[in-house]
Structure 1
Amino acid sequence: MPNDSDFDIATADALTLLLHNQHALGAAMEEVTKWLSENGVHSVAENALVALETLDTNAKAITDAITRLLRF
């Protein structure tokens, strides 16, 4: 069984990959939201913005978790 430090590093690495995926999804959603807004679908664009805010909030929490794991 790996020691706690190895496990923490592996967990931080996995969370980092998930965070990168989250940033990529956010960027794609921003492009779609921009297109929706420019094409008159404002209510859907507004809903997408709410989802983007959730991604941002969760990205901050994931970043904090990665930092805590790598501190030890």
Structure 2
Amino acid sequence: MPNNPDCNIATADALTLLLHNQHALGAAMEEITNWLSANGVDGVADNAVGAMETLDKNAKGITDAIMRIRQS
């Protein structure tokens, strides 16, 4: 892939927006998980916590990729 600064900026900007969406989804899932736990649906809440952990792990990878693209 050629080193095109404009392309790199556009890619990093798009990834940043996706990362913001991922954070928003994680926050919404956390609210739902809290409600599920408070209403005795702990099994479902545990599954949601697992999904949130995946979001967090992937957010780190996305952040690292954004930083590499912005530095090139």
TM-score strictly above 0.5: yes
Q: Which runs of 4+ in 1 moved over 2 A?
A: none
Alpha-carbon distance between aligned partners in 1 of 2:45 and 2:19, rounded to the nearest angstrom: 23
CA–CA distance in structure 1, aligned partners of residues 59 and 4 of structure 2 = 24
Corresponding residue number in structure 1 for 2:38: 38
* Counterpart Cα distance in 2 of 1:65 and 1:9: 12
After TM superposition, give the deviation of residue 41 of structure 1 in Å. Answer: 0.1
CA distance in 2, matches of 1:4, 1:54: 32
Q: Which runs of 5+ in 2 are unaligned?
A: none
SS at match of 1:35: helix
TM-score of the superposition, structure 2-length normalised?
0.95
Shift of 1:35: 0.2
- Cα offset for 1:7? 0.4
Aligned amino acid, residue 47 of structure 2: N
Query: Once the two structures are superposed, what CA deviation does each residue of 1:15-43 show, in whole Å capped at 9, x if it has no partner?
Result: 00000000000000000000000000000
State the 1:52 CA deviation. 0.1
**5+ residue gaps in structure 1?**
none
Q: What is the TM-score when the length of structure 1 is the normalising length?
A: 0.95
Residue 24 of structure 2 is aligned to residue 13 of structure 1: no
